[in-house]
Amino acid sequence: MLGGDISGGAKKRKAPAKKKSTTKAKPKKSGARK
């Protein structure tokens, strides 16, 4: 759900694409750690 929402938001919003990228990497690392 988060991945899809982030992917869609980043694609729809080109400006916040950079901010979305950082958020995507953060939850990915958290999941792998957990």
Kindly report, residue by residue over 2-33, the tens digit of the pLDDT: 555 555 555 565 655 566 555 566 666 665 55
Which pLDDT belongs to residue 27?
61
> What single letter denotes the amino acid at residue 32?
A
Q: Residues near 22 by Cβ (< 8 Å), separated by ≥ 6?
A: none
Which pLDDT belongs to residue 32?
57
Cβ atoms of 6 and 20 within 8 Å: the answer is yes
